[in-house]
Structure 1
Amino acid sequence: MMDKAEAANAFEAAGPLAAAATLAAMQKRIAELEAALRESGHAIRALRESELRYQEIFDGASDIILVLGLDGRRLAWNAAGEQILGYSAEEVMAMSVREFAHLVVPEHRERVRQALSDKLEGRNPASRYEADFMTKDGRRVTLEVNSRLLCRDGKPVAIQGILRDITERKRIEQALRESEARYRDLFENASDIVYVHDFEGRFLSVNRGVERVLGYTPADAKHLTMTHIVAPDHRVRALQAIAEKRAGRAESTQYELDVIAKDGRRVTLEISSRLFREQGELVGVHGMARDVTQRRQTEKSLRESEARYRTLFNSAQDVIYCHDMQGWVLDINPATEALFGYRRDEARSINVLDLIVPESRPAARAAVKRLLEAPETTVRYEATLVTRDGRRLTLELVTWVVLENGKPAAFQGIGRDLTERRLAERALRESEERFRRVFDAAPLGIALVSLTGQILRANRAVCEWLGYTPEEVAGRRYSDFNHPQDIEETVRFTRELVEDANLSSFQVEKRYLTRRGEVVWGRLTVVTVRDSDGRPQYLLGMIEDITQRRTLEEQVRQAQKMEAVGQLAAGIAHEFNNLLTVVAGYAGLLERRLSPTSIERSSPDLLHRYAKDILTAVSRAATLTGQLLAFGRRQQQQLAPLNVNELVTSTARILRPLLEPQITIVTDLSPDLGIVVADQQQLEQVLANLAVNARDAMPQGGTLTLRTLNVWHESRPEVSGGATFRARHANDETIRMNPYVMLEVADTGVGMTEEVRQRIFEPFFTTKPIGKGTGLGLSVVEGIIAQNKGFITVESEVGKGTTFRIFLPRGELL
């Protein structure tokens, strides 16, 4: 703009016409400025008025109004913020960005951060969401956040947020949801069927009770009508109930209805229903249906029970009676009429005490007293009564009190005629007395034993045989009198006899111990006494003294043994003579060579050879003596639990030097082999004897196989060809019933003929040249196996080798 001096100069320079034009322009400009000034004053006044109105809204708003700068600074915070969250505008303005962000609960911070980010990036410029904040006093409030961007010249400069406290609304909504959930839970889980159907019978709503009671799911029910499920003969009743409600004649009704379940069952429902309205308009029927099928069946069963009672009362073979508290007969059944000879109408004029004989009346009075003291109990007693024709009958009576309103009103009972039973019991007592006399007087030992092994009764013969009195024997276990070595076998036989109903008895010869410790022999026969259903009750044992017979047999065996000893002496004389000749010869040579007067001198090597040959001969003599002891069963056993696999492994190492280099030892050992109880040294001797025999059978070399295996024999072990089965001390039942460990020794040698195989276990039988064998090896093997409660089998064919199988009982068998 020009100042006044400049304007004057301009006027002067421009001339009169130009000056007039300029003046006019300036006046116009001045007028425009004055008009603009006036309008600006109006705008300023309007702005001030708008600011006042905004401030009033800002300060008076019930919602929190927050303005955030893009850098996180709080630009505005109204009074509602302090009312709701407890923080004043000054406190909020003084907070750091982190402190202000921590007003939001941790689990909602990401939601708020994401909303602000979306707002700034334009992905959700008008977002609305909910978040929980912590107040200054520690309360948790839920705020509904509504935010928008504030822009200037088209660029965002801040974010304005309006935060409404909806905590109470959320609480009400949660309470409403919980209330609806409780109602829905009550509706769905009610034991009764809860339903709503329209006036045409179409189901509008039904709970899960319909599935529990009728098998239809709620989804099924929505496609059903009352006509579908109501039994045909009850449909008229159902339609009539609906019509009465619709016509206004009944607001609610109760009735019973039979319906058909999904599986075809007929179910009786007790219905309680009323009209159902929505917004004041009738829309159908609301009802509850309870399954009373069981109740009705119970009522029916009760009626049938009463009918059965009456039928039983009239048809029972036992006496059934009822009399009042004074003893006057109220009712009797036909069986009582027939037994006593009184008609029912006649009996009503009789007092029961007149029928009871005097000696039985105290028992009857005592029974009545006990029933009055304990009315809910029953009393059983016996009494003798007199019939119309004077006969005396013994009855077993069971009596109880009939209560009416909790008070005794009468006595009722059942009586069974025991007259014939008492006669039979008397006859039984007489029979038992006769049996007792025979039992006690029998020369044969007889004992009754319980299934658990206790002696119930023993007669005089067995007690005198053992040196005890009957009182000392009764109650003791029968095994107390058995020889310890015979107990196991007897227990096993007894168990099998009791468990197998097809077996009637068993017999065994065994040893017993008398009171003085003497051993006596008896032949025991045991029989199981069973009831009518075949269940074992007790054992009857009969013992015959065979001590004298066994003594004579032992004498005969001793004589035979002496004869065998003579044969043994003849058999071993030559062997021992050869050995002694060797010893004597080399001893003589040593004596001459070592004599001080001898002119012959020998080298130490030669003398050592003489001594070694003497020791070899002595060793053979010792081996022969050991074999003879084993053959005679005189060696003392050292029984202990034994792992046969370990025995085979250790013995195979010892055997290796005894065998020719061209003989291969192969072991095939079962990994889960059972334990046996045996003498380890004896079994090592068995393996050594069999291995030496196998070596001699394979002069050109071959394979010696040692195999172990668990076996269980249900019958005699099957062998091929003409194999020999030997079982000295193992009887058929032991083989059949028990588990064994099998030790197999097989060679690929020359084998043997049938004649040789039949004789291999005979003492002194040998196929080897003279001086090469005594013939006792396999006899000793068989003796050792028998001592260890086992048995041995052999298979052999010429040119195909020989296989020995040793069967030893597993530990549980012993």
Structure 2
Amino acid sequence: MGHASIENDIQTKPVILSDEARLCANPDLTLDTLRRILTSESQDESIDLFVDFMSETFADTDIYLFTLHELDSLRLIRSRPLLTGPVREQCFPIFTHNEFCCIEQLKHSRFWAEHYAPFLPAMSQALGVTIQVHSRYYMMLLTSESEALWQPNSLGTLHHIIEVVKIALTYITSTEMMYNNRDVEQTEKFASLGKLAAGVAHEINNPLGFIMSNLGTLSAYMREFKQFVSMSETQKTAVEEILNDSEAIISETLEGLSRIQNVVSSLNVYNHVSSSNIGVVDLRDVISSSLGLILGELKMQARIDYQAPDRPMYVKGQSNKLQQAFIHLIMNAFQSITHTDGVICIRLEYETGVLIPRKRNLCLSIQDNGKGISEEHLEHIFEPFFTTKQVGSGAGLGLSVAKEIIEEHFGLISIESELGKGTQVEIRLPCVVSMP
């Protein structure tokens, strides 16, 4: 880029439209503009469609679209005709902030000659349009040898299109900001939960460790003690009964401590691990490995209806955490089935626009024909330690843990259930690889 000391001598004149010119656009133009911007699946595609639309609408007109690259610096991102080479890497200084203006006598401008003329086709005048919505900033130059571009009807049409674009961009950026704010809130929530879980796990694990160690040692001592006791038969019988009873008490205590240890391990899901473990994961592999880990244990309790998709289903995340969530959900489905013809149906497929507008996501559905969940309990199922199982059958952390894992991967989990008819769990996760 040239020396910034050269004064900006570009002459601009705001375009003032008459009422007739402002009203010249028809409703079809509005719909076509919105269609080009809002129905594409990516920002790049949206920009391409918009520039093509401008070329179709304004015949014999060259269009150059710039976007803010750095402070007071622009980059050319699209052009019709297509420009390649150094111009695509060049940084251009901003020369106007006018929203809609006529740029005149460019051939006599030293600023234009140094910064723009070496990279763009020759032009004596151009229309300049600036669009700024939140963090998005675009500048568009239109130039034409034909006088049609400068006529009131053309200017009115251009003004109308730009106003529609501003409305569309306001909607898009507001939606993005909403999801970004949600991600920030989730991150803060996870950070707080992580500190809490790490503290709880640390405080419980330390005493758990030496209690279990001491009980194990005590149990071994008692076994040895029984071999060396020399007493009368009556005393020996009484001591053996005490020792046997003590051994049973120690065994039950160890079992209880093991359950506490499992609860602590489950709580660790709230503590985020290093992002270095995050990568691209094929959900088909995660589901298959989850089923492989639990099917042998569950034997013939229910039939699994699952056909892995033919093509990869990629998300960004941690395979071990997703596996932990899926195991919790599949186990819940198995445990809800009490009859002999139990079926768990698992489906993995693509959706569009459920998580983020115009973006694809994956939907994993786990449906069982078990006993179902009452409406009263359904609103509490994601609460930590809430369970309808018998004491000792579960800590009530499975669904809470699964929900935290899915939300940590920027996904959503929902559950529908009806008593006597079964339950359906749906998990939605954003794709990281675009599929044809």
Mark the structure with the bigger radius of gyration. 1
Higher strand fraction (1 or 2): 1
TM-score by length of 1: 0.28
RCO comparison, higher one (Cα < 8 Å, 6+): 2
